[in-house]
Amino acid sequence: MSDKIFLRACRRESVERTPVWFMRQAGRYLPEYREIRRQHTLLEIVRQPELAAEVTLQPLRRFSLDAAIIFADILLPLPEMGVSFEFAQGEGPVIHEPIRSRQQIDRLYSFDPAQNLAHVLAALSIVRGELDPAVALLGFAGAPFTVASYMIEGKGSRNYAHSKALMYGDEDAWHKLMALLTGVTIAYLRAQVDAGADALQLFDSWVGCLDEADYRRYVLPHSRELFRGLHDLNVPLIHFGTGMQHLLGTIAEAKPDVIGIDWRLPLSRARQMLGNEVALQGNLDPVALLAPQDVLLGKVDAVLKENVGPGFIFNLGHGVLPPTDPQSLVAVVDRVRELSQES
**Binding positions for its own copies, rule: CB under 8 A:** 156, 158-161, 164-165, 168-169, 208-213, 243, 245-246, 263-266, 269, 285-288, 290-292, 295-296, 302, 318, 321, 323
Residue by residue, what is the 3-state secondary structure of the chain? CCCCHHHHHHCCCCCCCCCECCCCCCCCCCHHHHHHHCCCCHHHHHHCHHHHHHHHHHHHHHCCCCEEECCCCCCCHHHHCCCCEEEECCCEEEECCCCCCHHHHHHCCCCCHHHHCHHHHHHHHHHHHHCCCCCEEEEEEECHHHHHHHHHHCCCCCCCHHHHHHHHHCHHHHHHHHHHHHHHHHHHHHHHHHCCCCEEEEECCCHHHCCHHHHHHHHHHHHHHHHHCCHHHCCCEEEECCCCHHHHHHHHCCCCCEEECCCCCCHHHHHHHHCCCCEEEEEECHHHHHCCHHHHHHHHHHHHHCCCCCCEEEEECCCCCCCCCHHHHHHHHHHHHHHHHHC
Least gap, CB of 27 to its own copies (angstroms)? 15
Least gap, CB of 216 to its own copies (angstroms)? 12
Determine whether 73 is an active site residue. Answer: yes
Determine whether 150 is an active site residue. Answer: yes
Determine whether 204 is an active site residue. Answer: no
Least gap, CB of 343 to its own copies (angstroms)? 21
> Of 11, 47, 73, 264, which is the active-site residue?
73
Identity of the residue, 73 or 212, whose beta carbon is nearer to its own copies in the bound complex: 212
Least gap, CB of 108 to its own copies (angstroms)? 23
Residues acting as catalytic residues:
24, 28, 37, 73, 150
